[in-house]
């Protein structure tokens, strides 16, 4: 394959594969490659989520109540937004669920394909308040709503050879994560790619959509910038595995979020559920 054809495939121009394997991300309308059915990935994620629930120490306290309240507001607001916009609801096949995992060392949260969410107690020191928690959850939920895992898995099929190399590398990194945090579900999470970084375009998209979803749900998205600053502070001189290892922060990221802020507050005010 020459370089031009290769770029053509990666660029997801639809012509190279077939018209059905291309879709667009919600709201941003970025073109995406989709070779794997969403249902397949959701089912796989749900199975792994069940195993994680058995292996990790789950807590049911006021923080979990907050997580569930924020999550419910967000899932309703997202569905309502797409309904009012006369667009297909990307969360139509989601089976939302929320857990809080006791592990202070893990400053992270994730949302699996299909809406299976976990928050680690370590990140609560960073989020500090409901607006902060909403901004982290909004970002993670945005990865799932925009089907970033489906996109990544599809790309992996296209790039099989290089994927094997990446797998070997990330295998080493994952066992390092395991040792540093005592997370005994690192292997499980890697099966669904949850601890692997998304690419930069996907991260930017999750930042943007996350702000929109938080704003639609009635949270103060100005807290988002403060979160990134607290995250930077908490990670100073430390090794991964923090939220930052999969979410490289930079002054550019904060600058970008600041640039979107006013427009999003005006364009996506808290939505009334009809």
Question: CA nearest 219: which of 96, 133, 118?
Answer: 133
For residues 141 and 113, give the distance between their C-alpha atoms in angstroms, rounded to a whole number. Answer: 9
The closest alpha carbon to 228, from 208, 243, 212, 206, belongs to 243
For Zn ion, the closer CB: 210 or 215: 210
Q: How far is the CB of 126 from Zn ion (least distance, A)?
A: 14
Q: Do 174 and 190 touch, CB atoms closer than 8 A?
A: yes
Q: Which is nearer to Zn ion, 176 or 196 (CB)?
A: 196
**Per-residue buried b or exposed e for 64-84, using 16+ beta carbons within 10 Å of the residue's own CB:** eebbbebbebbbebbbbbbee
**Which residue is at the shortest CB distance from Zn ion?**
206
Residue (206 or 254) nearer to Zn ion, CB:
206
Least distance (Å) between residue 118 CB and Zn ion? 14
Q: Are 97 and 52 in contact (CB under 8 A)?
A: no
Residue 264 or 271 with smaller CB distance to Zn ion = 264
Q: Which range of residues in 46-54, 95-103, 158-166, 199-207 is near Zn ion by CB under 5 A?
A: 199-207
How many amino acids of this chain bind Zn ion (CB under 5 A)?
Answer: 1
> What is the closest distance, in whole angstroms, from the C-beta atom of residue 110 to Zn ion in the complex?
9
| Stretch binding Zn ion (CB under 5 A), from 23-31, 64-72, 125-133, 204-212 | 204-212
**What minimum distance in Å lies between the beta carbon of 203 and Zn ion?**
5
Q: Which residue in the set 41, 111, 137, 206 belongs to the binding site for Zn ion (CB under 5 A)?
A: 206
Q: What are phi and psi of 48, to 5 degrees?
A: -65, -40
- The tokens of 245 are what? 């290892």
Stretch of residues binding Zn ion (CB under 5 A), selected from 79-87, 186-194, 203-211, 252-260: 203-211
Give the position of tokens 């639809």: 14
CB of 161 to Zn ion, least distance (A): 26
Could you confirm whether 140 is annotated as catalytic?
Answer: yes
d(CA 13, CA 211): 28
Q: 56, 140, 151, 205: which one is catalytic?
A: 140
Q: Which is nearer to Zn ion, 48 or 206 (CB)?
A: 206
Residue 123 near Zn ion by CB under 5 A: no
Identify the bridge partners of residue 120 per DSSP, sorted by sequence position.
Answer: 101
Task: List the interface residues with Zn ion, window 4-23 (CB under 5 A).
Answer: none
Please return the burial class of 97, using the count of CB atoms within 10 Å of its CB with bins 0-12, 13-18 and 19+. Answer: middle
What positions carry a catalytic annotation? 140
Residues that bind Zn ion (CB under 5 A): 206
């Amino acid at each position: 394959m020459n370089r031009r054809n290769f770029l053509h495939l990666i660029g997801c121009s639809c012509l190279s594969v077939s018209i059905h394997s291309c879709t667009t991300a919600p709201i941003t309308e970025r073109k995406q490659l989709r070779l794997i059915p969403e249902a397949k990935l959701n089912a796989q994620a749900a199975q792994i989520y069940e195993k994680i629930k058995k292996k990790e120490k789950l807590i049911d306290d006021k923080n979990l109540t907050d997580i569930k309240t924020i999550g419910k507001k967000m899932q309703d607001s997202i569905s309502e937004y797409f309904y009012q916009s006369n667009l297909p609801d990307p969360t139509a096949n989601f089976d939302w669920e929320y857990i809080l995992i006791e592990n202070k060392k893990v400053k992270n949260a994730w949302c699996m394909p299909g809406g299976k969410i976990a928050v680690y107690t370590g990140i609560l020191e960073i989020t500090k308040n409901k607006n902060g928690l909403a901004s982290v959850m909004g970002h993670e939920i945005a990865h799932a709503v925009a089907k970033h895992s489906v996109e990544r898995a599809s790309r992996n099929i296209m790039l099989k050879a290089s994927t094997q190399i990446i797998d070997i590398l990330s295998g080493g990194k994952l066992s390092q994560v395991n040792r540093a945090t005592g997370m005994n579900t690192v292997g499980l999470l890697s099966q669904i790619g949850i601890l692997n970084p998304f690419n930069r375009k996907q991260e930017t998209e999750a930042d943007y959509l996350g702000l929109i979803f938080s704003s639609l749900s009635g949270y103060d998205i100005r807290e988002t910038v403060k979160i990134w600053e607290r995250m930077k502070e908490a990670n100073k001189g430390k090794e991964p595995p923090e939220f930052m290892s999969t979410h490289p922060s930079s002054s550019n990221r904060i600058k970008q979020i600041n640039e979107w802020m006013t427009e999003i507050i005006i364009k996506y005010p808290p939505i009334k559920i009809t």
